[in-house]
Structure 1
């Protein structure tokens, strides 16, 4: 989901003259109320003080020096005394998120100006035009007025540059024989491959029919199913960036004749023998577009998937729910709440496949959430429509 809002203007004074620009923030951060110009002479301590007080710094110096200043600001944030973490895991999680938000706010105060055409006019600056075009799309122009520059945080721009490199290079997927998936900006990258391995190894249901991949993102799971021999996969998403990304990837991987990518909020029309969903794993509020792949406020997507699953399965079909139990270890959702949701949706558990995470954060003892991450298990829940007492399937007809 893209949270970029309608264009907002921002004004400041530079060299005695009034200046204005458009404000751009993919996270929806409000434009700064105060802006001062900074350059290679600006001291890190002074910049940190201004940023903490809510004054943004518009960089006019060397690009590499701006990156060094951003690193210096991060060091000063990280040097601040840490309170002893609370013993309650949910409270520790919320405090961690609050600290992350505060860190992002301070680091977001270092700004750069993108001139018309996404030109970054700083000394030793890289050419960011194509990266910005892919992330932001074509520039918007209003009437005959000349295009305004756009102010964006350097931290966000570095994320755009990094995402561009990820898209160019791709992520190797062992379950696809090492072929690469190319994530787009704002679309969750399948760097945590254990959940992909679960989909590659789980036994396919014997019931005939197509497969649905709900919330396809990059299209990686739909492509795995197609490579496993599923003759037709319908992959859905509601984010335009994800839809474009998935279409690009299924074409690259040579499965576009078997994978149809459609815009839908959860389910497409009809029924399937297999319906796969890898919803966001943590019931919390996202603060940026890419976090919608991690945080699911109120477990909306999870409950929507479970609530509609039985009605979209053919007799003998299966739903595969891919979930980490991290939320359980954080005290944000219990196992009983999850299994009760299965029962309330008229579903029964056929089997569960588990896998341990392989990412580095699960072994980082300095991570504030280390205890929960170290205990995390990712599961593929094989779900079927519950049978009534006479043994027949009770799934209602799909609309």
Structure 2
């Protein structure tokens, strides 16, 4: 963490700078309160200033919304093809996040916000940051994300396939889209003599590992490279009473040994993630997908299967073609022995006003059942 300084009421103040997205501290800090207008705030934000809020907390949220609306008024040309439209959409979202991320609040040790009508933030901030020992500057957008994540963690996300709730921790991707979970819940398990040993790669909250255990897998090993995801998955297994059948390991993809079933639900879009949460959406150069396919054969027992759960949204956005995916499968020495598919049920897929509606409305999520080619042959 870096230190940030500014002048307030004639005295120099300092605080730690914290950004979960790795955003740099603003070049300069200016003090604002309820008197600032959205137009004036936007001009100063675009000039590189960080605006430290010293007014009413609810008014800070209103300012954030007003500035956001003004940024959204910048139109993206309508004559772009879908790939260019997606790139423009991402660039606009990145700029929007950068500008809005300069509206700042100061978290005092406690942790607490010394603002009128401020919410109690102690538990949520400790969950995300640990103990805060010194004044810490964060973006208001980040703090809102921390508070929302805490509510998800406390309340949980209902998962119909489990008949229970999953409780994601901060910066761990929430299983709010149930269609990919339903695919794993209904696909036929491999037939084995002594019950199925399964592996869930990139487990996140552990939702797919829990589904496999509830379906009768005798042992499930769930892995994730993110320590927060490992903690989240372990906590969820305890809540569900599955800790005796599901082991959660911090690992970069495959655990040691072989299994009858290896499941992987990698990020669906090729691209560079810009935050920890985007690690659940963007797979830089399809790295996780490629490593799963290339390593699958040596981690399966004879007769075992790999399940790749993947949306085809990347195809509709022009980011990765179907033949490219099939070529990756063939070059890894694998064959497709079956598929299960479903259409999305999230609201944006049916929203004609969504900028990417043309792609989202055609999206299909598929569970690809894979196994090594006979004799370990690598197809060309």
Short-chain TM bin: over 0.9
Give the 5 Å matches for 1:335-374: 335-374=322-361
Contact 2:111–2:131 under 8 Å retained in 1: no
Contact 1:63–1:123 under 8 Å retained in 2: yes
Q: Using the alignment, how far apart are the partners of 1:289 and 1:138 within structure 2?
A: 20
Answering whether residue 286 of structure 2 is matched by residue 293 of structure 1, we say no
Contact 2:76–2:88 under 8 Å retained in 1: no
Query: Cα distance, 1:85 vs. partner?
Result: 4.5
Contact 1:85–1:368 under 8 Å retained in 2: no
Contact 2:297–2:334 under 8 Å retained in 1: yes
Q: Using the alignment, how far apart are the partners of 2:252 and 2:259 within structure 1?
A: 16
* RMSD (Å), alpha carbons: 1.2
Instruction: Pick from 107, 118, 122 the counterpart of residue 129 of structure 1.
Output: 122
Query: Cα distance, 1:78 vs. partner?
Result: 1.4
Contact 1:207–1:314 under 8 Å retained in 2: no
Q: Where has structure 1 moved over 3 Å in runs of 4 or more?
A: none
Instruction: Pick from 62, 76, 100 the counterpart of residue 107 of structure 1.
Output: 100
Q: Using the alignment, how far apart are the partners of 1:269 and 1:305 within structure 2?
A: 14
Answering whether residue 181 of structure 2 is matched by residue 196 of structure 1, we say yes
Task: Give the structure 2 partner of residue 117 of structure 1.
Answer: 110
Q: Using the alignment, how far apart are the partners of 1:232 and 1:394 within structure 2?
A: 30
Tell me the SS of whatever aligns to 1:375.
coil
Answering whether residue 138 of structure 2 is matched by residue 152 of structure 1, we say yes
Instruction: Pick from 21, 26, 51 the counterpart of residue 45 of structure 2.
Output: 51
Answering whether residue 248 of structure 2 is matched by residue 261 of structure 1, we say yes
Tell me the SS of whatever aligns to 1:156.
helix
Q: Using the alignment, how far apart are the partners of 1:233 and 1:162 within structure 2?
A: 30
Tell me the SS of whatever aligns to 1:102.
helix
Tell me the SS of whatever aligns to 1:117.
coil
Q: Using the alignment, how far apart are the partners of 2:108 and 2:85 within structure 1?
A: 42
Instruction: Pick from 231, 247, 252 the counterpart of residue 244 of structure 1.
Output: 231
Instruction: Give the TM-score, by structure 2 length.
Output: 0.97
Offset from partner CA, 1:36-59 (integer Å, 9 cap, x none): 100111112111111111111100
Answering whether residue 299 of structure 2 is matched by residue 306 of structure 1, we say no
Query: Cα distance, 1:394 vs. partner?
Result: 6.2
Q: Using the alignment, how far apart are the partners of 2:226 and 2:79 within structure 1?
A: 36
Q: Using the alignment, how far apart are the partners of 2:268 and 2:167 within structure 1?
A: 22
Instruction: Pick from 146, 153, 166 the counterpart of residue 167 of structure 1.
Output: 153
Answering whether residue 18 of structure 2 is matched by residue 12 of structure 1, we say no
Tell me the SS of whatever aligns to 1:184.
coil
Instruction: Pick from 162, 172, 175 the counterpart of residue 187 of structure 1.
Output: 172
Instruction: Give the TM-score, by structure 1 length.
Output: 0.92
Tell me the SS of whatever aligns to 2:117.
coil
Offset from partner CA, 1:140-171 (integer Å, 9 cap, x none): xxxxxxx4310001011001000000111101
Instruction: Pick from 27, 34, 37 the counterpart of residue 40 of structure 1.
Output: 34
Query: Cα distance, 1:348 vs. partner?
Result: 0.4
Aligned residues: 376
Contact 2:230–2:249 under 8 Å retained in 1: yes
Q: Using the alignment, how far apart are the partners of 1:234 and 1:270 within structure 2?
A: 10
Query: Cα distance, 1:305 vs. partner?
Result: 0.4
Q: Using the alignment, how far apart are the partners of 1:381 and 1:294 within structure 2?
A: 19
Q: Using the alignment, how far apart are the partners of 2:325 and 2:107 within structure 1?
A: 46
Offset from partner CA, 1:114-164 (integer Å, 9 cap, x none): 01122111111011010011111233xxxxxxx431000101100100000
Contact 2:223–2:249 under 8 Å retained in 1: yes
Q: Using the alignment, how far apart are the partners of 1:85 and 1:249 within structure 2?
A: 46
Query: Cα distance, 1:84 vs. partner?
Result: 2.3
Tell me the SS of whatever aligns to 1:57.
strand
Contact 2:221–2:248 under 8 Å retained in 1: yes
In structure 2, relative to structure 1, the CA distance for the partners of 1:336 and 1:155 (3 Å cut) is same
Q: Using the alignment, how far apart are the partners of 1:358 and 1:15 within structure 2?
A: 53
Task: Give the structure 2 partner of residue 83 of structure 1.
Answer: 77
Query: Cα distance, 1:281 vs. partner?
Result: 0.4
Contact 2:76–2:89 under 8 Å retained in 1: no
Tell me the SS of whatever aligns to 2:13.
strand
User: Where do 5+ consecutive residues of structure 1 fail to align?
Assistant: 1-6, 140-146
Q: Using the alignment, how far apart are the partners of 1:289 and 1:83 within structure 2?
A: 30
Offset from partner CA, 1:79-118 (integer Å, 9 cap, x none): 234422512x222111111000011111111100001122
